[in-house]
Chain A
Amino acid sequence: MATAEVERRRGQLAALSIAAVVIVVGVPLWWRTTETYRAWLPVSQIRELAKLQLQLSADVEVVLARGTVTPEQQKKVPLTQTREEEHAVDEDTTLRYKYETRYRTATVMEEDALNKPTAAEADLSLHTLSESPCGSLVLYVIPQSYPLLPENVSVYVGQRRTALLRVGAQAGVGRTLEQLLAHLEPHIKQALRVMSFSHTDITAALSDRVRFNPGSKESVADSMRAFKSSPGYEITFSLLNPDPKSHQLRWDIEGGVQTYIQPLLTKLSSLANFSIDSQTLYYAVLGVNPRFDNSRGAYTLNADSLAHVINPVEARLGSNAASSNPVLNFLLYVPDAHHSPLYIQDHRKQEVPSNAFHSPRWGGIMVYNVDSFYGPEAAFPVDININMAKVMGVFLAQLRLLLGVPSSPPPPGFLVAPRGSAGIADWELDRLMWSRSVENIATATTTITSLAQLLDQIGNIVINDNIAEQVSSAVNSLQLAVAELEAGNLKFALEFSKEAILASEKAFFDPSLLHLLYFPDDQKFAIYIPLFLPMCVPILLSLLKIASEARQRRRERQTKKD
């Protein structure tokens, strides 16, 4: 009898100890060995970044020349004013613009410069005096009496970061300083809208975060035209010669690029890397047959058929297979001898002076007529040297448009200085840098937040250490970029925003983050049941038996007591 009891006790102890080993050792072991490695991500900081609050600061210096302020007013100057504007774009994004305006009087050297006969010369000598940092502006207010600006022009926008503002004759006399400044303010605001960041530019740059419906067709076209911000661009110049039997074309592309295009690209080097190549294509034809126009005695391509020109040519263009950067193609087409001269007509059936057209986010095509270089009795093939200055002038204008240099026409009364040899003014570069920084920050924040959301949703994806590192560095760079924008250091903000976007793209497009691990629940059960059921059933049943025996004994003890 006792042995049976001892046996039974032993059996119970064995079952209990097996259950204990299973629960204490087995379950944690199984959990540890089947979990996926997920490195730590700064989720709280990422969530903070999802609510983007950008502040853009611009430093504006307003220099009052002699004659605009009376001596009593002059005593109160220099002074500083700050103006802030706040716009809520959507519930996650708010923009704040801060303009710090410093008013001061002109120095003697600046007065000398302002007394030059023409505005261009004054601009040049003002540059030699001081160098304004990236993102800031200097506005010179000159009285009516100065002969610098022509009659109908009230603002002259220079090549660097300066502008000359002419204030009306009745402005300074008999007013206090505050009234004078209040009178100047709308003019200053207008100048800032042209030369510094504008609300439309910045909201367009936020298009990655904010899906908004722009008002007009022009703004849709504007937003579609320029390439998105990318760390590098490939520029390809192609010469298309459909008729090598008649024309032997020579173009000094290396010299042309070095002289005309490279200065612009050097100036834009803080934005992206550019790589240039060129090629010549023989027997490349346009996909459209031009029509002969009797009234002009020339062949014409009308605007509707231009859209079909690009595709047959594009199939023949090569591309640099080494990088995934966007490609800008610039094609120079010399029409064959039987279809010369060839002119492009716009929608109003008028000839286009530049004889060129461009396609948003693709590139540009220019038609170069060479029939005027030789007479009818010339010996074919004719040697022709292409005028690179004319060609590059058009390509440079198209390049500016495609890279996103803001090109809205200036308001009335504004005279914008012709672009220098670099093809871009400093203030235009500043505007481009503002919008690119904001675009980079917007894209990087959306990438990081969607990556965090994705990793959160799918518990099966392995997060390696390098991904966590990239994410942390992206978050870091983003915070620094936003801080630098607030402080007004445009160059540093752009640098940090570029770093942020590189790191976030690297993290998002890492090949290891492939969501292939989709396990439907029935498949999970199908795998685990044959493994665990055979061993769990005896354990569970023995525990149940122990429990029921214990309950029975307790009931017996109860009845015994009673």
Chain B
Amino acid sequence: MKLFHLFSFFAAYLVADSSDVENSVGQFFSSGHTNNWAVLVCTSRFWFNYRHVANTLSVYRSVKRLGIPDSHIVLMLADDMACNHRNPKPATVFSHKNMELNVYGDDVEVDYRGYEVTVENFLRVLTGRLPLSTPRSKRLLSDDRSNILIYLTGHGGNGFLKFQDSEEISNVELADAFEQMWQKRRYNELLFIIDTCQGASMYERFYSPNIMALASSQVGEDSLSHQPDLAIGVHLMDRYTFYLLEFLEDIHPASKANMNDLFKVCPKSQCVSTPGHRTDLFLRDPGSVLITDFFGSVRKVEITTEAINLTDPIQQQEESSVSEDANKEMYSYVDQLPVSEIIHQKPKQKDWHPPDGFILGLWTLILLVFFKTYGIKHLKHIF
């Protein structure tokens, strides 16, 4: 009898142990992604939009701290606040008043800076349609197993986001860009966070699968800034991103916090605006999605169980000095100013366009001639 009890206890322990192993293995592969990317964009320039740059840099800092390397982050800042002439503390960007936290630091890699941050470049980064000469650090080289975090901040309105105070991107264009990413399988899952006024309008038009979106305010509401710093003279952060940063400071790479916690960040009492989120396009249940699935980069690992037995000794490289001279290629610089091409240039084939204002001029001419010839009294035939 005792033996039976002992045996059953032992068997139960074995079963529990193996299922535990299965569980931990299973958890690694529940999310289906193998790498993480982040695209962080600040779209406003001018000194008084300091808070937008601080927003973006705070998210950049959290994302780096949780493990995503610089090579997988595309950071776009539309203006340089750290070295702005009006910055009383140069080379710093603070996110707390009393200058508690410097989010600029000495390890910031900005990929698109200043006037390079345009709607065109942003869409090119997302869809991958960059010119061939673009370096690797400026590209979003994601594949079908990448989870991408996209964070936008700046000034926005109902259905658009302003870039550089001169152009705007509409929610339709953004939704189409995401659809093109989906068609080419450039993401596994996408988390879209936007901190602007009426931010929820930007995610209304999404129609591609596997996108989860968060916004700092609903349509018709304004997102407010958090606190000014009297020494610097501007508002340092926006409320939503401030509380988001506070939330992320508690997350470490092994944390098990999930998206439902992220949805609770910054309730109306703190944010004054009502943050919104959209999960209907997302296949997994948000409660099972870890924060580190998007903000961090927890790699999946497998133990290498076999090795190949190699028995050949290492071959020594033979010195081949004779043939080397013969094969030496001569390198030279490309001609900077190809004068010969300019002088003997053939006229470039251009499509013929009628000159500007042609149509307007044509009709004005016709009408003038008509009225001149037949006199102004013929107006009554027309009117």
Task: Give residues in A with beta carbon < 8 Å to B.
Answer: 7-8, 10-12, 14-15, 18, 21, 26, 29-30, 33, 37, 207-208, 217, 220-221, 224-225, 228, 252, 254-256, 258-260, 303-304, 306-308, 310-311, 314-315, 319-324, 326, 344, 346-348, 352-354, 356-362, 364, 366, 388-390, 392-394, 396-398, 400-401, 418-419, 421, 423, 446-447, 450, 453-454, 508-511, 513-516, 518, 520, 531, 534-535, 538, 541-542, 545
Q: Are B366 and A18 in contact (CB under 8 A)?
A: yes
Q: Are B173 and A518 in contact (CB under 8 A)?
A: yes
When distances are taken between beta carbons in the complex, the residues of chain B under 8 Å from A366 are: 304
Give complex CA distance A418, B25 in Å.
29
Q: Are A359 and B299 in contact (CB under 8 A)?
A: yes
Nearest neighbor of A305 in chain B, beta-carbon distance: B254
Question: Which residues in chain B, 300-320, are within 8 Å of chain A measured between CB atoms?
Answer: 300-317
**When the two chains form the complex, which single residue of B127, B304, B374 contacts A356, counting CB atoms closer than 8 Å?**
B304
A455 CB, min distance to chain B CBs, angstroms: 12
A289 CB, min distance to chain B CBs, angstroms: 14
Query: 26 A-B pairs, CB-CB below 8 angstroms?
Result: A14-B370, A33-B353, A221-B302, A255-B314, A255-B315, A258-B314, A307-B300, A307-B301, A308-B253, A308-B298, A311-B69, A324-B139, A353-B307, A354-B307, A361-B143, A390-B307, A393-B309, A396-B308, A401-B304, A418-B309, A454-B183, A508-B184, A511-B130, A514-B127, A520-B170, A535-B363
Given known A221-B29, A361-B34, contact A393–B129 (CB-CB < 8 A) = no
Q: Are A344 and B303 in contact (CB under 8 A)?
A: yes
**When the two chains form the complex, which single residue of A315, A450, A509, A535 contacts B367, counting CB atoms closer than 8 Å?**
A535
Give complex CA distance A97, B141 in Å.
35
When distances are taken between beta carbons in the complex, the residues of chain B under 8 Å from A224 are: 29, 32, 34, 145, 300
Q: Would you call B67 an interface residue if the criterion is a C-beta within 8 Å of the partner chain's C-beta atoms? A: yes
Question: Which residues in chain B, 368-383, are within 8 Å of chain A measured between CB atoms?
Answer: 370, 374, 378, 381-383
Given known A224-B34, A358-B301, A359-B300, contact A260–B67 (CB-CB < 8 A) = no
When distances are taken between beta carbons in the complex, the residues of chain A under 8 Å from B123 are: 514-516
Give complex CA distance A514, B130 in Å.
10
Nearest neighbor of B252 in chain A, beta-carbon distance: A308
B74 CB, min distance to chain A CBs, angstroms: 14
**When the two chains form the complex, which single residue of B172, B184, B311, B317 contacts A258, counting CB atoms closer than 8 Å?**
B317
A144 CB, min distance to chain B CBs, angstroms: 31
Q: Are B137 and A321 in contact (CB under 8 A)?
A: yes
Q: Are B141 and A314 in contact (CB under 8 A)?
A: no
Give complex CA distance A12, B382 in Å.
9
When distances are taken between beta carbons in the complex, the residues of chain A under 8 Å from B303 are: 303, 344, 346, 352, 356-357
Give complex CA distance A314, B184 in Å.
27
Q: Are A531 and B71 in contact (CB under 8 A)?
A: no
Q: Would you call B26 an interface residue if the criterion is a C-beta within 8 Å of the partner chain's C-beta atoms? A: yes
Nearest neighbor of A348 in chain B, beta-carbon distance: B21
Please classify how large the interface on chain B is, using the bins under 10, 10 to 19, 20 to 34, 35 or more: 35 or more
Write out, one digit per residue, whether chain B residues 123-143 have a CB within 8 A of any chain A CB (1) or not (0).
Answer: 110011111000111010101
Give complex CA distance A333, B378 in Å.
95
A442 CB, min distance to chain B CBs, angstroms: 11
**When the two chains form the complex, which single residue of B26, B120, B359 contacts A26, counting CB atoms closer than 8 Å?**
B359
**When the two chains form the complex, which single residue of B302, B304, B315 contacts A394, counting CB atoms closer than 8 Å?**
B304
Q: Are A545 and B29 in contact (CB under 8 A)?
A: no
When distances are taken between beta carbons in the complex, the residues of chain B under 8 Å from A207 are: 144
A383 CB, min distance to chain B CBs, angstroms: 18
Question: Which residues in chain B, 158-174, are within 8 Å of chain A measured between CB atoms?
Answer: 170, 172-173
Q: Are A21 and B366 in contact (CB under 8 A)?
A: yes
Given known A311-B69, A393-B310, A450-B184, contact A538–B316 (CB-CB < 8 A) = no
Give complex CA distance A255, B135 in Å.
31
When distances are taken between beta carbons in the complex, the residues of chain B under 8 Å from A447 are: 184
User: What are the nearest 8 A-B pairs in CB distance?
Assistant: A311-B67, A255-B314, A450-B183, A535-B363, A11-B381, A542-B382, A356-B304, A361-B34
Q: Would you call B153 an interface residue if the criterion is a C-beta within 8 Å of the partner chain's C-beta atoms? A: no
A532 CB, min distance to chain B CBs, angstroms: 8
Write out, one digit per residue, whether chain B residues 197-229 have a CB within 8 A of any chain A CB (1) or not (0).
Answer: 000000000000000000000000000000000
Write out, one digit per residue, whether chain B residues 313-335 have a CB within 8 A of any chain A CB (1) or not (0).
Answer: 11111000000000000000000
When distances are taken between beta carbons in the complex, the residues of chain B under 8 Å from A33 are: 353-354
When distances are taken between beta carbons in the complex, the residues of chain A under 8 Å from B129 are: 509-511, 513-514
Q: Are A394 and B307 in contact (CB under 8 A)?
A: yes
Q: Are B314 and A308 in contact (CB under 8 A)?
A: no
Nearest neighbor of A318 in chain B, beta-carbon distance: B71
Nearest neighbor of A322 in chain B, beta-carbon distance: B136
